[in-house]
Amino acid sequence: MASELLHRTPAASRVPLSRRPWWPLAKRTAAFAFFGLVLWLVVSQARAVAWDEVMDSIRGYPLPVLLGAAGFAMGSYAMYCSFDLLSRRYTRHTLKTREVLVATFISYAFNLNLGSLVGGLGFRFRLYSQLGLPPHVISRIFGFTMLTNWLGYMVLSGVVCLVQPIALPDDWSLGADLLRVLGGLLLAAGAGYLAMCAWSKTRSWTVYGHELRLPAFRLAALQLVLSCITWCLIAAVIYTLLQHRTDYLTVLAVLLVSAVAGLITHVPAGIGVLEAVFVTLLADQVGKSELLAALLVYRAVHYLIPLAQATVLYILFELKVKKRAPVA
């Protein structure tokens, strides 16, 4: 009996963390704790806001500032839509460029406002399937675009952590040295992906029945460049609306932090999360009223106006599909 126990012990130690019986509860507990922290930040900050001053700040925006912010928002959408054009080269499907851009714009706008499962995945499946793509190709498109988005995020976060670590609150227990270590790890992860795409002899793997295939190095490099530009343009929207009250790298760093906070909490469009993170990290540099005014206008130009446009496009798309459908 003792020999059997000794024989089984090493095998038990190799059980993946995600399959241990206590892991689901620990994961949910951590997620709820983080959500509670963010909710507390949102409520505490909202109670201290002078909303009359916020509305005065919004009404006082010069037209050139609003046009500049809208221009950067349009640029970020254009860059994101190029992710699916890259995925066309990756999956080798033959949809027209116009069809890909329309499908991506609609899914991205709904993704930002309703979450990745509804927008990024659900709308992509609906739109691309109506355009004739099979499910396995759509899944590869979705995976490729998600990887593209977060590849640029990792590299930019790594650069910001190394070059200009953001000053976090003392109770967050993350000093500049730890941020630099984190930045180095993020850059190493991005470099590792590019190295695999350049030199790995094994180009594909099968995971749970799904094939994962590495793109060519040139395509991977384009993923990185386009994603970095997209994130930088999004930060430029907020930086423009803040009218240069703080430096651009700080705005980019806070945006990257808020993106992860919104991802963890699963709040649609990160409502309240974005504002809580920005107010917490920038309140000592920018007046709270001006900061919230900038973020509300940012939501209008980057979330709500594109969502309205995407809704109209989607209705037109469905009407066109219905018109083409054979009469029973």
More confident residue, 211 or 303: 303
Looking at residue 176, its pLDDT comes to: 60
Helices (H) and strands (E) in the chain, counts: 13, 2
User: What are the pLDDT digits (tens) for 117-172?
Assistant: 777 788 898 899 999 999 889 989 998 999 999 899 999 988 888 877 666 655 55
Q: Say yes or no to pLDDT of 48 above 50.
A: no
What average pLDDT is seen over the chain?
78
Q: Say yes or no to pLDDT of 88 above 50.
A: yes
Nearest Cα residue to 301 out of 157, 293, 84: 293
Cα dihedral sign for 81, 85, 90, 96?
positive
Q: Say yes or no to pLDDT of 57 above 80.
A: no
Six-digit token string for 222: 């384009």
Q: How would DSSP label each residue in 169-226? A: -GGG---HHHHHHHHHHHHHHHHHHHHHHHH-S--EEEETTEEEEPPPHHHHHHHHHH
In which band, very low, low, confident or very high, does the pLDDT at 101 lie, cut at 50, 70 and 90?
Answer: very high
Decide: 126 and 215 in contact? Cβ < 8 Å: no
- Note the pTM of the prediction, 2 decimals: 0.78
Decide: 237 and 76 in contact? Cβ < 8 Å: yes
Vertex 285, ends 284 and 291: CA angle to 5°?
Answer: 95
Which of 64-78, 95-109, 159-173, 281-295 shows the lowest mean pLDDT across its residues? Answer: 159-173
Q: Would you give the distance in Å from CA 212 to the centre of its chain?
A: 21
Looking at residue 28, its pLDDT comes to: 61
Q: Say yes or no to pLDDT of 38 above 70.
A: no
DSSP 15: S
Query: From CA 318, how far away is CA 130, in angstroms rounded?
Result: 9
What is the rounded end-to-end Cα distance, in angstroms, of the chain? Answer: 70
Residue 93 dihedral angles phi and psi, to the nearest 5°: -80, 170
Q: Say yes or no to pLDDT of 324 above 60.
A: yes
Decide: 91 and 140 in contact? Cβ < 8 Å: yes
CB atoms near residue 327 (< 10 Å):
3
In which band, very low, low, confident or very high, does the pLDDT at 73 lie, cut at 50, 70 and 90?
Answer: very high
Q: What is the mean pLDDT of residues 50-75?
A: 76
* E-only strand ranges, the chain: 204-207, 210-213
Q: What is the mean pLDDT of residues 210-236?
A: 91
